């Protein structure tokens, strides 16, 4: 849930200066405009914070008139059209309503043609026409991946798996804590960690292992190496549970694009699958690579980021805005919180401790296409 600044809270946007550091010659990547290259943004309209959509040039192409909005996926997005009720709509990139439905606070993205919807504290799936495809409700329902979705069919903590016909193909044996992102899920069976494949074969792990959360809050298995906690340190196992990288790191993230960020001696760097540091541990924080760029922190220790680095370890994009609100005693550096993976060459992040104080979209070529300081509205 968003935390909106109180009405009347302001800062002087004219005092903000955005500096983009590009230390190499950039060849502009050209992406064809598609429905999934529209991005939700927030704008004050008549003192109400409303949602619209921008394109890759930062141009508003769907006017801000919705109370909530999701990312486009498979050419469609969900928007809240009535704050006083539970009415949502599914729209296309032309802002045409495809169908409407009732949802409480959660609508999932379309994945493999289905989206999960939350209403009256229950979940169900709709297809691209808005039909309840299985005529079933669940206690929880995740995205479809590889033709399978993890659901909870009762109030207990164990999970089940359904196929795209809505059939139960794995009963409530395990506590499943991830999705079938690349065909594997993390499970706990009687408090023992394990990995299950799409044929529902389980590999039980050593009982001294436990799964660890990563920088992006991800629990899914996204590569053939999985970070695990072992006696207070982080190492990596393969999908058969065999230890491949010894547990010597204080923290470790997923392998993305062949590299994983790890913390060793209070500094972050990047290793490859042979356990070699490809980028030395010199950063105060480091996230995951996407489209050849990773968020890093080069000058603070508070868990945020302030730059993007390429695979050569060179900082190529930096947001060095300094802002000062009349409600603050001291100017504060504009830092990056919760940066999303680059999608079609665009990354969204917030700045400031509250998610919607400063909203940014930056392209992989270094151009900031949306710089919105919501407390200055």
Residue in this structure with the two tokens 């006017």, named with its chain if needed: 63
Cβ pair 290, 301 in contact under 8 A: no
How much is the pTM?
0.84
Q: How many residues does the chain have?
A: 377
* pLDDT tens digits along 275-309: 999 999 999 999 999 999 999 998 765 668 889 99
* pLDDT tens digits along 252-263: 999 999 999 999
- The answer for residues whose C-beta is within 8 angstroms of residue 245's C-beta and 6 or more apart is 225, 235, 236, 271, 273, 275
- Residue-number span of the structural domain to which 364 is assigned: 1-30+290-377
Whether residue 171 is contained in a domain is answered as: no
Instruction: Summarize the confidence of residues 149-153 as an average pLDDT.
Output: 94
Whether residue 59 is contained in a domain is answered as: no
Whether residue 363 is contained in a domain is answered as: yes
Whether residue 369 is contained in a domain is answered as: yes
Helix (H, G, I), strand (E, B) or coil at 37: helix
Angle at 197 between CA 191 and CA 198, to 5 degrees: 130
Whether residue 257 is contained in a domain is answered as: no
Whether residue 105 is contained in a domain is answered as: no
The pair phi, psi for residue 28, each rounded to 5°, is: -65, 125
Whether residue 301 is contained in a domain is answered as: yes
Count of helix runs (H) and strand runs (E) in the chain: 0, 34
Whether residue 98 is contained in a domain is answered as: no
- For the chain, how many structural domains are there in total? 1
Most confidently modeled range among 10-19, 98-107, 274-283 = 274-283
Count of other CB atoms within 10 angstroms of residue 271: 21
Cβ pair 346, 363 in contact under 8 A: yes
Rounded Cα gap, residues 376 and 367, in angstroms: 22
């Amino acid at each position: 849930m968003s935390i909106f600044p109180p009405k009347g809270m302001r800062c002087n946007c004219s005092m903000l200066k955005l500096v983009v550091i590009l230390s190499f010659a950039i060849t502009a990547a050209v992406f064809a405009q598609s429905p999934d290259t529209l991005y939700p943004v927030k704008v004050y309209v008549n003192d109400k914070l409303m949602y619209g959509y921008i394109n890759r040039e930062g141009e508003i192409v769907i006017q801000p008139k919705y109370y909530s909005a999701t990312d486009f996926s498979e050419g469609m997005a969900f928007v809240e059209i009535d704050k006083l009720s539970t009415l949502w709509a599914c729209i296309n990139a032309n802002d045409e309503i495809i169908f409407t439905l009732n949802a409480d606070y959660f609508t999932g993205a379309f994945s493999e043609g289905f989206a999960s919807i939350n209403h009256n504290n229950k979940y169900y799936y709709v297809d691209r026409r808005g039909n309840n495809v299985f005529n079933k409700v669940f206690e929880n329902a995740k995205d479809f991946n590889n033709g399978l979705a993890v659901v909870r069919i009762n109030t207990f903590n164990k999970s089940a798996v359904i196929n795209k016909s809505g059939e139960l193909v794995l009963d409530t044996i395990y506590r499943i804590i991830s999705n079938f992102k690349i065909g594997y899920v993390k499970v706990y069976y009687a408090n023992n960690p394990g990995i299950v494949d799409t044929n529902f074969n389980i590999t039980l792990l050593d009982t001294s292992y436990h799964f660890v959360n990563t920088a992006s809050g991800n629990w899914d298995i996204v590569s053939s190496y999985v970070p695990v906690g072992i006696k207070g340190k982080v190492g990596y196992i393969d999908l058969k549970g065999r230890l491949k990288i010894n547990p010597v790191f204080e923290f470790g993230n997923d392998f993305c694009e062949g590299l994983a960020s790890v913390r060793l001696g209070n500094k972050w760097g990047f290793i490859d699958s042979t356990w070699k540091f490809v980028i030395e541990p010199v950063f105060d924080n480091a996230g995951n690579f996407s489209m050849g760029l990773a968020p890093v922190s080069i000058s603070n220790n508070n868990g945020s980021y302030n730059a993007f680095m390429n695979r050569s370890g060179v900082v190529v994009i930096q947001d060095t805005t300094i802002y000062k609100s009349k409600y603050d005693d001291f100017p504060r550096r504009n830092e990056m919180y919760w940066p999303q993976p680059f999608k079609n060459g665009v990354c969204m992040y917030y700045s400031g401790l509250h998610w919607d104080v400063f909203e940014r979209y930056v392209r992989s070529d270094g151009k900031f296409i949306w710089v919105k300081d919501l407390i200055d509205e």
